[in-house]
Amino acid sequence: MTGPPLTLVDLAAMPVSKLERVGPRKLESMEQVGIRSLLDLLTWYPRRYLDRSRESTIAELAAGEEALVLARVVSVESRRVRNHRVMVTAEFRDRSGRLRCTFFNQPWRKQQLETLIGDVEIAVFGRLELFQGRRQMTNPVIDPVGDRTGRIIPVYPQSEKARLTTWNLAEWTGQTLRRCAPRGIADPLPDEIRRRLGLIGRELAFTDIHQPADLHDVHAARNRLVFDELLRLQLALVRRKRELESSSLGIEHAVGPRSDEASVPGLVDRFIGALPYPLTGAQRRAGDEIAADLARPLPMHRLLQGDVGAGKTVVAVEAMLGAVQGGHQAALMAPTEVLAEQHAQGIRSMLAGLTIDDDGSLLGSRPVEVALLTGRTPAAERRRILAGLADGSIPFAIGTHALIEDAVRFASLGVVVIDEQHRFGVEQRAALRDVGSGDAVPDVLVMTATPIPRTAAMTVFGDLDLTVLDELPPGRTPITTEWLVGDEGEAAAWEAVRAEVADGRRAYVVCPLIEESAKLEASSAEEVHDRLRAGPLAGLEVGLLHGRMKADDKQDVMDRFRAGSVQVLVATTVIEVGVDVPEATVMVVLDADRFGIAQLHQLRGRVGRGSAASRCILLTSGPSGPDGSARLEALVRTRDGFELAEIDLDLRGEGTVMGDRQKGRSDLRLASLRRDREWVEAARSVALELVDATGVVTVPELAAELTLLDAEDEAFLTKS
């Protein structure tokens, strides 16, 4: 009884050198794998568990079946076989009989097993083969477990190199738990929340993850520890979000009717009223959420996620007009010139006929001017636009990152929309917020058409609020997706292209993805273009679009494709994002198994945008590997981007979904964004509850734990 219950911060301050039976060599071993404190040790979780009640003896094993036996090594030998390969053979024994295990190409096994000869119990997991009456396994999984007793044996990640065994680790964690027992381990989670979520206490969780009486205990322990990891992360993200919000001054936009006479509808209402279609339920909900943000004095920082074709543009324009109707300006930033130009065209026609009050003009009103600013804007026009943005006479700007160049100043930038967020760096996002004038920070809406599973979004974009457009406008044209293989498949694809073109429609041919080399990708696109023009698509107007072409040439081929003088567009993934040509009704993707699910889904979104039924043909030269097949089958099966995103997360694990942003995320030792989706949600909502409006974590003990996040994680968090 030497003090209050131990906190994680206390445990992090206690070095493992204080433990008994830890000599300098073992200390160094632990140092090598990053175990320095008792907290490191307690969070060095077992990789799996052996249930002794379910193990068999060697004699009981049936041929052809996978099973686990506990046995001891009797002898080991190694010899070279063909092609300089090494074969290690070890003889195992338990009380019932003998088992021979053969390891190919694992020369280090000899030394490993030799040091284990004798009394060390080893878990051997593999498929039993009978060879001339002898029991044997090839390349089984080997886990030395020592002379551990008890029904459930935890198996720790061990290190051959550092000479750390699972029984070392079990002994030390056992010692740590015993030493903690008199003071106990503190539980900072408010009881009420713990009960609501059905979680066990923290001390019991640590005990049961390391020394479970049965496997059900492990499950409950894991839940609690997973929740703790996720809660720490969410607390840090929500804290950062709230700090940002409370430290900067936003603009309270006048989102209600602008006119003094309530009978004259505001700009936003007039815009919506003039649309040729009613908003979808999801668009209305999104609009309301955004309007509520705009009206508040805090700057908005919101992510609008919506599948391809969900109608994000209307929602974005609505948000931007919310700023304009209150006398502020709005900007939309797109990742490419093609997209910026297309947005400008589309939005200009949406806004045609809409006017804003202007006391200076003869009629008392003027049209809403939409300026387009890209790298291609001629100098004189650019000067005019810059002046108009600076004096506020131009309310609406669309552009590429040319919008955030030094020379650009806005009189009063109120709302910024960033389209296709994944193409933008965080720094660019920050820069755009800074182009406003005065102290007020514009409201920021980030749009992405890459559906991300909700839980992943909560983690990757944890400092943003999330709006999901989960409903598509009615009457979308069907897209049939087929996966065709080999020469025959290809022939069918070109036939489909010819048929569509003969009916006056257009086709995309997407060239194989060559990662890391835009140059190779471009030359492969040129090759495909030449080959198709000379052979399968001879006689059709075939154009070429890739990332290394000059901007003017890109624009030119896009214009001609839109107009129909180019009938088939051979392109790299530059067409992935946002390109909108309603007459394009067929897409052929070459070597489709080289693409990821999200990318294929984006690509496919380029067709099915008009009134005619569309086809997407995924080609592979031969059968694909299991992952490739699973991806292509998923695309054939569904068009729902969120369903595909979930499948993607399942197939690839979170690392890839998170991309670079995930890399530093070492604090998640136990939690998986894939397996633990419901805990991510729970942690998010508890974090929102426990952080106040100014960014203070209201439970001091939990706040203190945030200092334990890895430095890397900290850097990651503050970067966003």
Among 201, 473, 596, 695, binds ligand ADP (CB under 6 A): 473
Which residue number, 3 or 474, has a Cβ lying nearer to ligand ADP?
474
User: Cβ 280 to ligand ADP, closest distance in Å?
Assistant: 4
User: Cβ 324 to ligand ADP, closest distance in Å?
Assistant: 19
User: Cβ 436 to Mg ion, closest distance in Å?
Assistant: 24
CB under 6 A: which stretch of 232-240, 278-286, 496-504, 528-536 binds ligand ADP? 278-286
* Binding track, positions 290-319, relative to ligand ADP; x by CB under 6 A: ----------------x-xxxxxxx-----
C-beta nearest to Mg ion: residue: 578
Among 417, 449, 501, 647, binds ligand ADP (CB under 6 A): 449
User: Cβ 333 to Mg ion, closest distance in Å?
Assistant: 13
Partner from ligand ADP, Mg ion, none contacting 308, C-beta within 5 to 8 A by type:
ligand ADP
With beta carbons less than 8 A apart as the criterion, state whether 410 and 325 touch. no
With beta carbons less than 8 A apart as the criterion, state whether 201 and 21 touch. no
Spatial distance between the Cα atoms of 24 and 270, rounded to a whole number of angstroms = 76
Spatial distance between the Cα atoms of 369 and 352, rounded to a whole number of angstroms = 9
Annotate 427-441 with b (16+ C-beta within 10 A) or e (fewer). Answer: ebbebbbebbeeebb
Tell me which residues touch Mg ion (CB under 5 A).
578
Among 74, 279, 431, 518, binds ligand ADP (CB under 6 A): 279
User: Cβ 344 to ligand ADP, closest distance in Å?
Assistant: 13
Which residue number, 155 or 417, has a Cβ lying nearer to Mg ion?
417
Partner from ligand ADP, Mg ion, none contacting 658, C-beta within 5 to 8 A by type:
none
Which residue number, 332 or 432, has a Cβ lying nearer to ligand ADP?
332
User: Cβ 597 to ligand ADP, closest distance in Å?
Assistant: 17
Among 104, 108, 131, 277, binds ligand ADP (CB under 6 A): 277
With beta carbons less than 8 A apart as the criterion, state whether 342 and 642 touch. no
Q: How many residues bind ligand ADP (CB under 6 A)?
A: 14
Spatial distance between the Cα atoms of 667 and 234, rounded to a whole number of angstroms = 12
| CA 142 to each of CA 90, 99, 123, 124: distance values in angstroms, whole numbers, following the listed order | 11, 13, 6, 5
User: Cβ 312 to Mg ion, closest distance in Å?
Assistant: 5
Which residues of 229-363 form beta strands (DSSP E)? Answer: 301-306, 329-333, 355-357
Angle made by CA atoms 464, 467, 469, in degrees to the nearest 5:
145
Spatial distance between the Cα atoms of 150 and 131, rounded to a whole number of angstroms = 34
Per CB under 6 A, does 614 bind ligand ADP?
A: no
Per CB under 6 A, does 280 bind ligand ADP?
A: yes
Partner from Mg ion, ligand ADP, none contacting 277, C-beta within 5 to 8 A by type:
ligand ADP
Output the six-digit token pair for 257.
């009717």
User: Cβ 472 to ligand ADP, closest distance in Å?
Assistant: 8
Which residues of 262-362 form beta strands (DSSP E)? Answer: 301-306, 329-333, 355-357
Q: What is the DSSP letter of 438?
A: S
Site for ligand ADP in 9-68 (CB under 6 A): none
**Residue listed under structure tokens 């004189």:** 380
Which residue number, 473 or 653, has a Cβ lying nearer to ligand ADP?
473
Which residue number, 395 or 578, has a Cβ lying nearer to Mg ion?
578
Which residue number, 314 or 511, has a Cβ lying nearer to ligand ADP?
314
Which residue number, 543 or 578, has a Cβ lying nearer to Mg ion?
578
With beta carbons less than 8 A apart as the criterion, state whether 370 and 396 touch. yes
Angle made by CA atoms 180, 21, 71, in degrees to the nearest 5:
100
The values of phi and psi at residue 152, to 5°, are: -105, 125
Spatial distance between the Cα atoms of 408 and 440, rounded to a whole number of angstroms = 17
Which residue number, 107 or 582, has a Cβ lying nearer to Mg ion?
582
Partner from ligand ADP, Mg ion, none contacting 306, C-beta within 5 to 8 A by type:
ligand ADP
Among 283, 336, 421, 614, binds ligand ADP (CB under 6 A): 283
Spatial distance between the Cα atoms of 111 and 89, rounded to a whole number of angstroms = 12
Dihedral class, residue 143 (left if φ above 0, else alpha if ψ from -120 to 50, else beta): beta
* Binding track, positions 401-440, relative to ligand ADP; x by CB under 6 A: ----------------------------------------
Partner from ligand ADP, Mg ion, none contacting 641, C-beta within 5 to 8 A by type:
none
**Residue listed under structure tokens 């195992």:** 92
* Binding track, positions 635-664, relative to ligand ADP; x by CB under 6 A: ------------------------------
Which residue number, 311 or 322, has a Cβ lying nearer to ligand ADP?
311
* Binding track, positions 553-582, relative to ligand ADP; x by CB under 6 A: ------------------------------
Of 185, 230, 179, the C-alpha closest to 204 is: 185
With beta carbons less than 8 A apart as the criterion, state whether 484 and 617 touch. yes
The values of phi and psi at residue 369, to 5°, are: -80, 130
Partner from Mg ion, ligand ADP, none contacting 473, C-beta within 5 to 8 A by type:
ligand ADP
User: Cβ 313 to ligand ADP, closest distance in Å?
Assistant: 3
Burial of residue 632 (number of CB atoms within 10 Å: 0-12, 13-18, 19+) = buried
With beta carbons less than 8 A apart as the criterion, state whether 231 and 689 touch. no
Which residue number, 275 or 715, has a Cβ lying nearer to ligand ADP?
275
| CA 280 to each of CA 272, 273, 283, 347, 713: distance values in angstroms, whole numbers, following the listed order | 12, 13, 5, 19, 39
Half-sphere exposure of 44 (CA within 13 A, CB side): 29
The values of phi and psi at residue 322, to 5°, are: -60, -40
Binding-site ranges for ligand ADP (CB under 6 A): 277, 279-280, 283, 306, 308-314, 449, 473
